[in-house]
Structure 1
Amino acid sequence: MTLTQLEIFSQVAELRGFTLAAHQLGISQSAVSHAMKLLEQELGVELLRRHQSQVELSDIGEQLLLRARAMLGLANTMRQEAADARGMKRGTLRIGSFGPTSSIKLLPNILQHYRQAHPGIEVHIDEGPDRQVVQWLEERRIDIGFVVLPEERFDTFALIEDQMVALLPAAHPLATRSELSLKALCADPFILTEAGSSELVSRLFNAARLQPNIRYRCSQLLSTLETVSRGDAITVIAEGSLPDSPHPGYVKIPLSPAVKRQVGLAVLDQRQASPAALAFIELASRLNPQ
């Protein structure tokens, strides 16, 4: 069993295909097939079920994929520690990011300084909803992720704090209020955006034993803002995810009682984090002091 075989296994499982994995890894499809055949022969189990257009993991394949990613993560940490001894001249850092708060307002500035300090580190960024970033961390698909705190499953580092606000069409009858309760937001059609803190919004209403009138679900914040601006729905959203320039089509109103939100970085285990990840955390914390 080699790390190359495990990397191929991980890519085939993620992309659900030999051709896509070969393209991603820059090798031939026959090399991918050969590596998987040898790995399955050595382990004595079927890791993948082949179909005409794609492949899927067997039950034991699902289980061993987690082990493979853990081993690849540790191997990457070893490479990073060796690179650290050489001044971090080479290495890879995989980052998970969600929504405008991290992808637009936090990450660009951190990356600019990080590249200046460590130009040899290759940075890969995956973007998805906040709950998907958490899943990527658990599956070891990323080294570090932006998350909504608290997250007790991980070692975390707070970066910024903002507040949750109600977002209403500018012509809404409640648009002139100085603050709004969650109860006041349950009658109108509600839009839930999957781009950012959708889990937090759901928890807020559940904790208050309230049920918003969810009529829309959007994967992108821009779609949410457009829907509210048209007057089709209202929502609750993190203030930090909104554009800096005010929009004439909607107004933001603080919640009563106020609801704070913290965004930070998370790693699966700080003791096993690579030097590249630890350097990113240190720089991000310095640029965004609490």
Structure 2
Amino acid sequence: MTLTQLEIFSLVAELQGFTSAAHRLGISQSAVSHAIKALEQELGVELFRRHQTLVELSDIGQQLLGRGRAMLGLANTLQQEAADARGMKRGTLRIGSFGPTASNHLLPKILSRFRAEHPGIEVHVDEGPDRQVLEWLDERRIDVGFVVLPQERFDTFALFEDQMVVLLPVGHPLSERDAVALQDLCDDAFILTEAGSSELVARLFSAAQLRPKVRYRCAQLLSTLEAVGRGDGLSIVAEASLPQAGNPHYLVRPLSPRVPRQIGLAVLDRRQSSPATQAFIEMAQEPGMASTFQSSHLLSKHP
């Protein structure tokens, strides 16, 4: 068994295809097939179920995937620790990011500085909903991920805090208020965004024993903003996720009482994190790198 075989196994499982994995790795499909066949013969089990258009993990393949990724992660850490002794000139860093808060507000500034200081580290960024970032951490598909805190099963590092806010169509009766209570949002159609912090919003209503009239579920924040702007309903989003320029078609009001949201980074085990991962976390925590979000959305009561 080789690390190359494990890398190919992990990538075929992720992409659900031999051809896709071959394209990603820059090798032939036959080389991918040969590596998987050799690994299956050595282990004495079938790792994948082959179908016409895709492949899927067998039960034992699913079980072994986590072990394989753990071995790859350990090998990467060993390589980076050796590279660290030479000035961290080589290595890979896999980052999980969610929504506009992490991808647009936090990551660009940190990543720009990181690449400048560690140009030899190859950086990969995967974007998805916040809950998917947690899954990627569990599956060892990423080394570090942006998360909404707290996350007790991971080692976490706080970065900054913003608040959850209410989005209202212009002219809505609630826009006359300086702040809006959660129960006041249960009379109108509600728009739930899946882009980030959807679980936090669901917990807010559940803890208050309230049930919003969810009429729309939007995968992207932009769709949520447009739906509110058209007057299709109300929504709750994180303040840091909103465009800095604002929008004349919707209004933003804080919740009453205030609902803070803390953003941080998470790893499976900080003791096993690679030097590149540790360097990224330390850089993200530097003063001013992920400074408290300052918004002009709530400065005025009326547009």
TM-score relative to the length of structure 1: 0.98
Residue in structure 1 matched with residue 244 of structure 2 by the alignment: 244
Residue in structure 2 matched with residue 278 of structure 1 by the alignment: 278
Residue in structure 1 matched with residue 63 of structure 2 by the alignment: 63
Matches of 1:29 and 1:233, distance apart in 2: 49
SS in 1 for 2:285: helix
Matches of 1:21 and 1:40, distance apart in 2: 17
Residue in structure 2 matched with residue 100 of structure 1 by the alignment: 100
- The Cα of 1:173 is off from its aligned counterpart by 1.1
Q: Do structure 1's residue 288 and structure 2's residue 270 form an aligned pair?
A: no
Could you tell me which runs of 5 or more consecutive residues in structure 1 were left unpaired when the two chains were aligned.
Answer: none
Aligned residue type for 1:284: A
SS in 2 for 1:164: strand
Residue in structure 2 matched with residue 74 of structure 1 by the alignment: 74
Matches of 1:199 and 1:119, distance apart in 2: 36
Matches of 2:290 and 2:51, distance apart in 1: 49
Matches of 2:82 and 2:224, distance apart in 1: 46
The 5 Å alignment of 1:205-224 reads 205-224=205-224
Mean alpha-carbon deviation: is it higher for 23-32 or for 280-289? 280-289
4+ long deviations beyond 6 Å: none
Matches of 1:117 and 1:31, distance apart in 2: 36
Q: How many residues align?
A: 290
SS in 1 for 2:108: helix
Residue in structure 2 matched with residue 265 of structure 1 by the alignment: 265
Aligned residue type for 2:47: L
Aligned residue type for 1:2: T
Aligned residue type for 1:246: G
Matches of 2:4 and 2:90, distance apart in 1: 19
Residue in structure 1 matched with residue 83 of structure 2 by the alignment: 83
TM-score relative to the length of structure 2: 0.94
Matches of 2:121 and 2:163, distance apart in 1: 34
Matches of 1:195 and 1:164, distance apart in 2: 14
Matches of 2:77 and 2:170, distance apart in 1: 51
Aligned residue type for 1:51: H
Could you tell me which runs of 5 or more consecutive residues in structure 2 were left unpaired when the two chains were aligned.
Answer: 293-303
SS in 2 for 1:123: strand
Deviation string 1:54-81 (CA, Å, 9 cap, x unpaired) is 1111111100001101111111111111
- The Cα of 1:193 is off from its aligned counterpart by 0.8
The 5 Å alignment of 1:1-290 reads 1-286=1-286, 287-288=289-290
Residue in structure 1 matched with residue 300 of structure 2 by the alignment: none
Identity %: 72
- The Cα of 1:288 is off from its aligned counterpart by 3.0
Matches of 1:157 and 1:91, distance apart in 2: 22
Deviation string 1:208-267 (CA, Å, 9 cap, x unpaired) is 111111111111111110000111111011111111122111111111111100000001
Aligned residue type for 1:65: L
RMSD of Structure 2 on Structure 1 (CA):
0.9
